[in-house]
Chain A
Amino acid sequence: MPWNRRKRIERASDLRLESQIGEEERFGDLMRRMARENRTAMASFVIIVLMALAAILAPLLTPYAETDMDLLNRLAPPSAAHLLGTDEGGRDVLTRLLFGARVSLLIGVVPALLSLILGALMGVIAGYRGGMADAIIMRVADITLAFPSMLLAMVIMYSLGGGIVNVFLTLTLVNWANVARVVRSETLRIRSGAFVEAARVIGVSRDRIMRRHILPNCLPTLLVLFTLNIPTSILTESSLSFLGLGIQPPNASWGLMINTGRQYLYNAPWLCFAPGAAIMLIVLAFNFLGNGLLDVLDPRQKKQ
């Protein structure tokens, strides 16, 4: 199992849809095949769905409101009434965790999607147009990748200021370069295919070839990159919020909960460890799912 990020990304660039080797495969079939071949990935998928449901249904799942203060019950250890204890304001930690899941999941999904779109666009343009556009886009990508991701995120957050929209923007600007690199190499491979040549010969315009022939063929790769970018976004955001540079109160992501809980690490460790465990679980689940998709979509893997 390739756990190394770059290796996984390299492998992702070799994926293709079944349609290319003859038979059509729909998304439902794909998931069924994954359930058969890779139990861990399927279990991760179920965990992710459950967590998303818990986040959406949060108000129904807990008797407390997110902001219910109970000053007589500050920093209470886990008990039957408060399964994960209470925080410095006497608020129920489990409730805050459920509501925090909304922010944290959103922060995983939105920037992953945005960086996918930006990266795919840049990658296709660089790969298909070549020349000057290619040189400029790829140099900018190189520079982006030269930054340790946290430091780049910190610099961008500094100039944009805190808040959830700026976190989205920052994570997009940090993560697009990887996607662009992979999509560019995909485009170079697809471009030399006979069907692209045929389309060009019958006079299909350049933009239409990019839209109708090249991008759809990158879809399996993009699906895997999307799944693997989600945990990266969640981790970067929680690190930023941990330093107080990300999400600002009253919004509460898991990272921000850890940031405020850190002062009470000695007396009330559950304030940090409960959201920390939630972050670990979701990151692990997305990583397993990404690896599962990689295996299911990889034609070489199947022949073995």
Chain B
Amino acid sequence: MKRSLAHRLIQALVVLTGVVLITFVMLRIVPGNPIETMMGEHADGATIQRMTAEMGLDQPLINQFFRYISSVVRGDFGTSYSLGRPVSELMGNAFANTLTLALLAALFAWIVGLGCGIFSAVNKNRLSDRLLMGTSLLGISLPVFMAAMFLQYVFAYRLHWLPVSGTDSWKGFILPAIALGWNNAGQVAQMTRTTLLETLQEDYIDTARAKGQGTMGVLVFHALRNAMLPVMTMMTIQLSGLLSGAVITETVFSINGVGRLMVQAISGRDIPLLQATSLLATGMVILGSLLADCLYAVLDPRIRRGD
């Protein structure tokens, strides 16, 4: 167990370095001097040259890369070209907002998805099951931007129940979290139903019933616990989707998160900011999948013992 975890950790570090390298190269092959873009048409040649040298942009790419890596390790992500503030400062705030949003979305997806999945499995093939599963299918095929705009239109523009945008109060997080979690809720519901129905056919369920365990007891202590494993795996895959979706949700609801910062970085041709935000987002995904592996080991004794 410990060895495989160490192995995973090293693999994660390799992938993370690869991510930095790829984004670094990609962002530097863009034609044009970023300093010129930043200073506009009116900058004179001497100033541009001085600024380029100051930021080390005249050095060979490989030197720039190692310089960047060493400053990142020290927690220095450079200064944003477009906003003129340290990138780490900008990211701290954004990170908190995105994390809140993603966690709330995941919470929504899990409560609604699990609830619907269990209800559907128990009422297999009844009308309620079919209706619920049809709805979850609709949830899966609904693109995040559609869910976001639909919720915004109905609950903010028409009914005025919740704010249109911003995060001044906790109410501002409700619609974005639902919009972001909607898709995952559908997936969790489908997956829970399928795995729960499979698990309910196992022999140990019959054994538990024969020993006098009630319907609820069988469901919660025997079936659900085992059915959770594949559903847990899905959470890892969903994390990456949540971050992709966060870009859209944050844009629609004007939330200052990592995704929106990234969109701003692109429109401002702000390389340090774009590099840092993509590193942060990928880091979150890699960390998430590491955590999920650990969780998996805790839940499944076969993995814990290393069979």
Contacts and interface: CB of A to CB of B under 8 A. Distances in A.
B149 A159 contact: no
Interface string A258-276: 1000100110010011001
Contacts of A238: 143, 145
B292 interface: no
Contacts of A1: 190, 194
Interface stretch (B219-227, B243-251, B297-305): B243-251
A245 B251 CA distance: 13
A1 to B, nearest CB: 8
B237 A4 contact: yes
Contact of B149 (A3, A151, A244, A272): A272
The contact size tier of chain A is 35 or more
Contact of B145 (A6, A159, A242): A242
A195 interface: no
A148 B102 CA distance: 14
A26 interface: no
6 contacts: A6-B237, A139-B14, A148-B282, A151-B247, A239-B247, A276-B143
B247 A146 contact: no
A279 B143 contact: yes
B27 A159 contact: yes
Contacts, number: 134
B-side binding surface: helix, strand, loop or mixed?
Answer: helix
Contacts of A262: 149, 252
B146 A279 contact: yes
Interface in B209-268: 234, 237, 240-241, 243-245, 247-248, 251-252, 262-263, 266-267
B204 interface: no
A158 B266 contact: yes
Interface string A235-250: 1001100111100000
A243 to B, nearest CB: 6
Interface stretch (A63-71, A88-96, A220-228, A280-288): A280-288
A21 interface: no
